[in-house]
A and B are shown apart, each in its own frame.
Chain A
Amino acid sequence: MSPALLLLLPLLSVVVIFFGTKWSGTLSALVSVASVAGSLGVTLALFSTDSSMVAMNWIALGDVLQVDIGLRWDRLARGMMFVVTLVGTLVHVFSLAYMREDEAKARYFGCLSLFMFSMTGIVLADNLVMMFIFWELVGVSSYLLIGHWFTKASAADAAKKAFITNRIGDFGFLIGILMLFGLTGTVSFTGLENWLAGGHAGASAGLLTAAALCLFCGAVGKSAQAPLHVWLPDAMEGPTPVSALIHAATMVAAGVFMLVRVGFLIEASETAGLVIAWVGGFTALLAALMATQQDDIKKILAYSTLSQLGYMVMVVGLGSGEAAMFHLYTHAFFKALLFLGAGAIIYACHHEQNIWKMGGLKTRMPITFAAFGIGTLALIAFPFTSGFFSKEAILDIALHENKLLFLIAAGVAFLTAFYMSRLLVVTFLGAPRSEHAGHAKEVSVIMFVPLLILAFLSVVAGYKPVAELLQAQLPDVHWNWFVFFVSLATMLAGAGLGFLRYLDKRSEPKVIPVLANKFYFDEAYGWAVRNLQDGLAWVVRGLDALFIDGLAVGGITRLTEGVGCLFRRVITGNLQAYSYLFGVGVFVLIYFTVFLR
């Protein structure tokens, strides 16, 4: 069995759905579920193998340029592939129930398969151009899924915003690829690694840093780091299972995965590492602050995702790709769990997303409550859940590498516990605050089984034997009592404060405008797009019409129009058009008779 199957299965599903079964939503859903379950099976079957292969020469131009669709199946790829296919399978199954009544079910499942195909390509890529290819393809699948309900203006706008914001990051990513290709003549990871190991001939330290940071721009877009984070909260316009799979567990983590793949480049430049670490730390803090004042259950989780991605990016910058991947792996389970849990709640409350219109769901949806509670514990790093182990590793590394970032990371841990306990208390405890919440019922078995599987993993995934078994990356850190106490204290303080403050409240006790308005990023960007980009575009268009078209060219046109009038007198009537033919014919004749004889 070959890893190429992992690419073929979802591709086949896309083709079958779009060319064959698109008339039947149910059939398409089954095709899609079968393909993702098949991918999970293949991943498990290939767990003990290690291989690399060239599936296809995409571009072969002699020995000048070689770009392969090449697959690299190593531990990093196996661990990531397991996360992607497992969460993918559960989300597909959950969607069967969640999207049961959707009119465009075939399109939905077709797009999910397209996403699985693209994501698999990123994980297996053995060179930068191939990664970029699939990077763009996940962007388009994300665009399609965010905009699934495209007649809704907000969904259509969110999809557009996500794609364009990602392209801004890709601008840097592509330039980074170009620089590295120009320096080395290759785009393959192995080739680049060898070149670096051999003393990176031809590249100054500055250029190396520039290249690494350019690649990082791609991760800033895809993993929604500040200042390009604005698309992810809006992306919650998509169906909730999509949010769980793409905008929490897998695609947004692709940026982190890419940084770990090119970790050898980041290690080569101290400056690049520092910049990356600070961008990550800053994003973690910024997003956690914004999460404390949101009212939409999915938005709170989205900001939490941003914040956790910030942790991962920070620790990549601090030099530990293993810790980043370990947190990516535990986060995928508990965040997918939280999103699917939120999906179950939203489904049960008839598409209500405002937490202040929920309440009292603990007794009405006990299974969802238990699962959601476990996810929350893992996210706030309650001791001996999976999130606890991965966050300990991050804090430990931050403590050794950069004290200031350690403080920020600890502050983020406090904020995380605070906003998650707020979410839990307001949603599940107290009395129902709306009719829908009062009538909510536990969801069907097809929806809560995925929750329970993810809840189980959220508890056990952090233990070393389990992580070893599941091919996760394990950071090389040792137990540190200081880190343990800091983590425990911030968690208890945050959660305690959250409980006390929000228990039995009917609305937000104190609105902090700057946080509730997300530091006005959207307003500022909206202003810039309207006034700078569109304003500039408008001015340029005016200048173009006035000067380039009006004077320079218009002058010549008017001159010739005079000549045209002469023709018009010769050939009267509405046969004017024939004068064009005549005019050009004359030109041609004159050219060839006068100049050439």
Chain B
Amino acid sequence: MGILDILIILPVLAAALIGFGAPARVTALATAGVNFLASLYLFFWCRGQVADSAGYFFRTSTPIAENPGINWALGVDGMALVLVLLTTVVTLAATLFTKGDAKHARLLFSSILLIAAGALGAFLSTDIFFFYAFHELALVPTFLGIGIAGHGDRKAAAWKITVYLGVGSMVLLIGLLGLVLHASGAGGVTFDMVELMAHGATLGGATQNWIFAGLFIGFGILVSLFPFHSWAAPAYASAPTPIAMMHAGVLKKFGLYGLLRLAVPLLPQASQGWAINLLLLLLLGNILWVGLITIAERSLDTMLANSSVMHMGYIFLGVACFNVVGSSGAVLLMFAHGISIALLFGLCGKLRDDVGTVRFDMLGGLGSVAPGFAFVFGLGAFASIGLPGFANFAGEVMVFLGSFKDFGGEIGRLQVTAMLAVWGIVISAVYALRAYRNIFQGEVSAASDSRVITKGWRFPSYLLIAALLIIGCFPNLFLNLLPSTDSAVPGSAATASQTSDHHGHDHDHDGH
């Protein structure tokens, strides 16, 4: 059993132990800590090594079924490593943010661990079968956590997210099966990503478009792609704090990871077809439409939930670039967004627990009552709106640069989309600073006055902020692990620059 197996199995065992009566918080903390250290070890180990021919480290494979070919196959490459680190950091922070004497503590701690295990399994699997199954399994504790331990209108919210993500998973399954059936080579149906990679690019343009659409809608529903976003606000507003942190911070990245892992390399010609136009349109829905909704929100929890939906638009834009700059930006942004939204949900939960409300009209002036808390929240808010120095900015700027890379002096659909998307930096400044103004500045409100924020938020917050700052100042720590030439992202490899570029321009002219 290798280190990757341990990363996945350890939290499952710990969750089982908690189920059998082990002390919940201690067990969860120990597990999250060990996993965090293990992922750090993995990170530093991989930096000194050369990957195998497919770009992976620690690749293992145990056959499960012959035909179709299903394997318990694990491996880690740069992108997976970034997401593994994200998972372990957020898991540790979510555990730290949760009090041992919280209501439903046992359920919460085991849910955190199971979601972590599912996310790690999905990110580390190189077999589509397990990649998919792990994500499905991680959804179960998410639903349970919201339905049982949530607050407000928890049952309705739980239903909504269950139905949504269930439907999304079904659409995704169809897309994945389409991919598997079409892209498997002569050797029979296979679920192995590396093998599929070898055959995928040979598919015809029309087929690629259809499969791409199936994938990005299926993955998209899981990532709250517009117009499939309305589950997010009620679900995150009702979810217990650690569940919101784990789902918004980690599990939601599964869909984006899937697109970057499967769609971009396997379906290069989709970057020129109708499906990409649809994606560009929908991602603008995320940034502009949902951005406006975020401005209209009057409560911190729903505002954060919608801002998270909005930021997904940038990551989709990175995917839609179909080049190495955009993809790398998307990877950085997945990490950055995961960390910063976890931080903000963690602090928001603290506010709800200690002050009793997260409504803007009832809060105010908290900055003079709890300056340290206000400072940390401010860092999180500025990180999430892309202040340089935080990883979010590095990701966003790379996504934007990727969308203009080699555009050849002709403003096309990708560039127009990117320009409209840049307006998002204004929208996000409006809602984030308004929220900060309402909660922390001005006169001290009645609700904030007599209460003080209790202990327990500092260490996990500092952990998350440190992660954002380190990667924001030194993005090369991650970029060094990612492919640095376009040919390594087959999406815009030689194929794209030789064949599709011409096709693309022809297309454009046809269009006008």
Chain A residues in contact with chain B, CB under 8 A? Answer: 57-62, 64-65, 129, 132-134, 136-137, 140, 143, 147, 150-153, 156-157, 160, 163-164, 167-168, 170-171, 174-175, 178-179, 181-183, 185, 202-204, 207, 533-534, 536-538, 540-541, 544-545, 548-549, 552-553, 556-557, 560-561, 564, 576-578, 580-581, 583-585, 587-588, 591-592, 595-596
Q: Which residues of chain B from 327 to 344 have a CB within 8 Å of any chain A CB?
A: 328
Given contacts A64-B485, A178-B403, contact A544 B289 (CB under 8 A): yes
Asked if A560 and B437 make an inter-chain contact with CB atoms under 8 angstroms apart, the answer reads no
1/0 contact trace for B10-30 toward A, CB 8 Å? Answer: 000000000000000000000
Q: Is the CB of B159 within 8 A of A182?
A: no
Q: Considering the chains assembled together, what is the distance between the CA atoms of A132 and B425 in angstroms?
A: 13
From B297, B388, B419, B440, A136 is in contact (CB under 8 Å) with B388
Residue contact B433 to A540, C-beta cutoff 8 Å = no
Interface string of B387-400 (1 = CB under 8 A from A): 11100011001101
Question: Does B486 sit within 8 A of A, measured CB to CB?
Answer: yes
Residue B143 at the A interface, CB < 8 A?
yes
- Whether a CB of chain A sits under 8 angstroms from the CB of B368 is yes
Q: Interface with A: B87-95, B132-140, B266-274, B348-356, which one?
A: B132-140
Q: Which residues of A contact B482 (CB under 8 A)?
A: 61
A197 smallest CB distance to B (angstroms)? 18
Partner of A147, one of B70, B425, B441, B444: B441
Among the listed B162, B389, B394, B443, which residue makes an inter-chain contact with A583, where contact means beta carbons less than 8 Å apart?
B162
Complex partner residue of A178 from B136, B167, B328, B404, CB under 8 angstroms:
B404
Do B368 and A534 touch across chains, with their CB atoms under 8 A apart? no
Find out whether the CB atom of B437 lies under 8 angstroms from the CB atom of A167: no
Binds A, one of B41-49, B53-61, B405-413, B501-509: B405-413
Q: Is B408 in contact with A544, judged by CB distance below 8 angstroms? A: no
Are B163 and A560 in contact, CB atoms less than 8 angstroms apart? yes
Within 8 A of A (CB), among B367-425: 367-368, 382, 387-389, 393-394, 397-398, 400-401, 403-409, 411, 415, 418-419, 422-423, 425
Q: For B163, give the chain A residue with the smallest CB separation.
A: A560
A160 to chain B, nearest CB (A): 5
Q: Knowing A59-B475, A580-B162 touch, does A151 contact B367 (C-beta < 8 A)? A: yes
Q: Are B442 and A151 in contact (CB under 8 A)?
A: yes
- The winner among A62, A538, A545, A595 for most chain B CB atoms within 10 A is A62
Number of interface residues of B (CB under 8 A): 88
From known contacts A544-B289, A560-B159, infer whether A580 and B143 are also in contact, taking CB-CB under 8 Å. yes
In the complex, chain B residues whose CB is within 8 Å of the CB of A583: 162, 166
Query: Is A534's CB under 8 angstroms from B409's CB?
Result: no
Give the chain B neighbours of A207 by CB distance below 8 A. Answer: 409, 411
A227 to chain B, nearest CB (A): 15
A-side contacts of B430, CB under 8 Å: 164, 533
Interface string of B153-167 (1 = CB under 8 A from A): 001001110111011
Task: Judge whether B400 and A174 touch: CB under 8 Å.
Answer: yes
Which listed residue (B140, B388, B405, B480) contacts A181, Cβ 8 A?
B405
- Is the Cβ of A62 less than 8 Å from the Cβ of B139? no
Known: A147-B441, A153-B443, A557-B159. A577 touches B144 (CB 8 A): yes
B359, CB-defined interface residue at 8 Å: no
Complex interface: chain B residues within 8 A of A596 (CB): 68, 70, 129
Does B362 belong to the interface (CB within 8 Å)? no
B140, B231, B394: the one within 8 Å of A581 (CB): B140
- Complex Cα distance A105/B290, Å? 40
Q: Tell me if A59 and B440 are in contact (CB < 8 A).
A: no
Contact A182/B437 with A151-B367, A203-B409 known, Cβ cut-off 8 Å: no
* Interface pair B422/A171, CB less than 8 Å apart: yes
On whether the beta carbons of B484 and A62 are closer than 8 Å, the reply is: yes
A556 near B167 (CB under 8 angstroms)?
yes
Scoring B229, B296, B389, B398 by chain A CB atoms within 10 A of each residue's CB, the highest score goes to B296
Task: Give, as a whole number of angstroms, the nearest-CB distance from B67 to chain A.
Answer: 10
CA distance A64 to B144 in the complex (A): 45
**Which residue of A137, A152, A537 is within 8 Å of B295 (Cβ)?**
A537
Contacting pair A59 B425 (CB below 8 A): no
The verdict on B292 contacting chain A, using a C-beta distance below 8 Å, is yes
Residues on the A chain within 8 Å of B476, using CB: 57-60
Residue numbers in A under 8 Å from B429 (CB-CB): 163-164, 167
> 13 A–B contact pairs at CB < 8 A?
A64-B486, A132-B388, A137-B389, A143-B433, A147-B441, A163-B429, A168-B426, A174-B397, A179-B404, A182-B404, A553-B231, A557-B163, A580-B147
A547 and B292 CA atoms in complex are apart in Å by 16
Besides A182-B408, A204-B409, A545-B230, 14 other A-B contacts (C-beta < 8 A): A64-B324, A64-B405, A64-B486, A65-B405, A132-B397, A167-B425, A178-B401, A536-B292, A540-B293, A556-B163, A581-B144, A584-B166, A588-B136, A596-B129
The reply to whether B388 and A61 contact each other, CB–CB distance below 8 Å, is: no
CB-based contact B443/A544 at 8 Å: no
Q: Which of A58, A140, A203, A204 has the most CB of B within 10 A?
A: A58
State the 3 A-B residue pairs at the shortest beta-carbon distance, nearest first. A62-B484, A182-B404, A156-B441
- A82–B231 Cα distance when bound, in Å, is 55
Most chain A CB neighbours (cut-off 10 Å) among B139, B140, B368, B411: B140
List the B residue with the shortest CB-CB distance to A552: B227
A60, A202, A540: most-surrounded residue (chain B CB, <10 A) = A540
In whole angstroms, what is the CA distance A136 to B429 when docked?
12
Interface hub of A57, A168, A175, A577 (most chain B Cβ within 10 A): A577
B479 in contact (CB, < 8 A): yes
**A60 to B475 Cα, complex, angstroms:** 9
Nearest chain B residue, comparing its CB with the CB of A548: B227
Interchain CA distance A553-B425 in the complex, whole Å = 29
In whole angstroms, how far apart are the Cα atoms of A317 and B436 in the complex?
38
Listed residue (A132, A583, A596) with the most chain B CB atoms within 10 angstroms of its CB? A596
Determine the residue in chain A with the shortest Cβ distance to B136.
Answer: A588
> Would you call B437 and A160 a contact (CB within 8 A)?
yes
Which residue of the partner chain B has the closest CB to A161?
A: B433
Residue from the list B137, B293, B328, B365 in contact with A537, Cβ < 8 A: B293
Kindly state whether residue B182 has any CB partner on chain A within 8 Å: no
Set of chain A residues within 8 Å of B293, measured between Cβ atoms: 537, 540-541, 544
- Are A175 and B292 closer than 8 Å at their CB atoms? no
Distance in angstroms from B129 CB to nearest chain A CB is 8
Q: How far is the CA of A585 from the CA of B289 in the complex (A)?
A: 35
A553-B164 contact given A548-B230, A584-B143, CB 8 Å threshold: yes
Give CA–CA (A174, B401) in the complex, Å.
10
A164 to B385 alpha-carbon distance, docked (Å): 11
**Contact status B289-A540, CB under 8 Å:** yes
Which residues of the other chain, A, contact B227 by a CB distance below 8 angstroms? 548, 552
Contact of B409 (CB < 8 Å), options: A64, A160, A175, A202: A202
Known: A65-B401, A175-B419. A164 touches B365 (CB 8 A): no
* Inter-subunit contact B404/A59 (CB<8 Å): no
* Contact present for A61 and B484 (CB under 8 Å): yes
Q: Which of B219-252 contact A (CB under 8 A)?
A: 227-231
In-complex Cβ contact of A588 among B133, B440, B486 (8 A): B133
